[in-house]
Structures are given as C-alpha cells and as structure tokens.
Amino acid sequence: MQGDHYVGAVADWYDDWLGARRDDVEFYSSYFAEFPGTVLELACGTGRILLPIAKAGVEIHGLDGSEDMLRVLEEKARQRGLAGIMVYHQPMEAFSIPTTFDAIFVASGSFQLLTAPEDALSSLNCVREHLKDGGSFLADIFIPWDAITERESSAYHVTRDTVRPSGDRSIVLERFTTDLTRQVKLGTYRYEFYSDKHLVTCVTDDLAIRWYWKDEFLRLLGDAGFTEVQMLTESPLYKEGHSFVFKATK
C-alpha cells in the first residue's frame, strides 16, 4: 500500500519539505471556495491541501494509506481549531466509505503512485461509486521528463535539504531507473535525519510512480464510466506536455 512509504520521520518531516509549494493549495482552495457540497480528498496526507479548504468552511473528508500522515493531519487540525474532520485509513485503489460525495479529488500527482493499470482503474471505479449523481472528480498528473530523458541515475543526488528553527536537519537523496515500456520511474530514496549535527536516523525506501499520457488518462476515465471528461486547461497547474488537470463527471 502506498502509505507504507510515508511513516515515522518521513511523515513528520513531510510538511517541512513541501512547505514552499503553494500552487496546488491555491488551485484547489480556489476551486472549492464556497463549495456547497461534501468533498473527499484521496491521498490527503498531512492535510496540506485539505486543511485550508476545511478552514474556508467546506465540508471535506480525507483518505490516506498512511496512519502516520493522518496522525499529523489530525494534530494540525486540532491546533487550528478544526478537530472532527473525518479521515479514513484506506488505500485509494480499494476504498469503501459509507457515504457519497459531491466531489472527490486527488492532487499533486498522487494518483501516479498506483503503478499497476488495474489498480488505477479500480481506484477510479471506487471514485465513481462514491460520487453522487452529477458529482465530479478532479486529478492533476505530471510527466517526469527528467527521468524519461536521463533513463537512469545510479548515483544519489540531493533533492531536499531542510533545516528547522531548532537546528534539526533532514536531507533527501534520490537515485532512479526508468522503465519506458511500463511508464514507471522507480526511485530509491535515502532520508537522513540530523540533530546537533549528528546523523540520528537514516531510512532507505523504494518508491515508484507511473506516468500517463494525456489521451491515455482521458481513455482511462472513460473506461471507468465517467460520462463527461474535460481538461482544465485554465488551471495554473496545467502545462501542456508536462502536467495536466482533469475533471470527470458522473
């Protein structure tokens, strides 16, 4: 399950690594501003996108495969006076919730953690089953052109180097191989955590993502039974040939 990768110190540092990214937060917050229905975010993680939407008064639930990420989300919600948000510890490729939603979304390429085509279709089927009639599904995905072009990076390179006000530090290093036939980038990540300039913990983990070409993902949404599928080309997250934003209606 995808949540197996986001545990322990990785979950605790996740917001530190992504704190500077705002484009996805701003897009989904704007899209759901004053939304009258109920929303579900898949792969909601620590609530980086979910909590600003909730703070604006939207009824939003979250689902994630990592208990540790959800623990961080719930603590942040409590600190912000948003306790009581419904969260579900379930995999996005096979979830079952006793309610339906007016909108469901998965942000920041998280859908691409489903590297098996059958899991991707299973997830979309679950989404459709959990949408009310006329409800919509949003997703943004990206093409990892660096991995496609380079094909392989056998030596580790630093992708993040973050220092907290306390002086604690984390360094994330990556190396990868690319399977062009399966459209999968397999990354090996080394997470180093320091305190008082001493290495305290080191974690190594493999994490794969699958990329989808634009027309391929449009077909996949159709195969899942969505009646109306469109590209949100006006979204700031949409960059032709690089990243795409989809909206599908039940």
Per-residue pLDDT tens over the stretch 48-94: 999 999 999 999 999 999 999 999 999 999 999 998 999 999 999 99
Mean pLDDT, rounded, for 109-126: 97
Beta pairing class for 38-42 and 101-106: parallel
| Domain regions of the chain by residue span | 2-143+212-249, 145-210
Instruction: Tell me what pLDDT residue 2 has.
Output: 57
> With bands split at pLDDT 50, 70 and 90, how would you rate the model's confidence at 4?
confident
Fold of 2-143+212-249: Rossmann fold (3.40.50)
Give the model confidence (pLDDT) of 153-189 as tens digits: 999 999 999 999 999 999 999 999 999 999 999 999 9
Q: Tell the burial category of 28 from Cβ atoms under 10 Å away from its Cβ (0-12, 13-18, 19+).
A: buried
| Band of pLDDT at residue 22, cut at 50, 70 and 90 | very high
Has residue 3 got a pLDDT over 70?
A: no
Coil, strand or helix at 109:
coil
Per-residue pLDDT of 189-205, as tens digits, reads 999 999 999 999 999 99
- β-pairing, 243-249 vs 228-231, is antiparallel
Q: Identify the pLDDT of residue 1.
A: 52
Tens digit of each residue's pLDDT (9 = 90 or more) over 129-139: 999 999 999 99
Query: What are 203-221's pLDDT values in tens digits?
Result: 999 999 999 999 999 999 9
**Integer Cα distance of 153 and 174 in angstroms:** 8
pLDDT in tens, 88-103: 999 999 999 999 999 9
Tell how far CA 227 is from the center of its chain.
24
Tokens for 91, please give them: 């995999």
Q: Output the pLDDT for position 227.
A: 85
Place 20 in a pLDDT band, splitting at 50, 70 and 90.
confident
pLDDT digits (tens, 9 = 90+) for 26-50: 999 999 999 999 999 999 999 999 9
Q: Which residues pair with 162 in a beta bridge?
A: 170
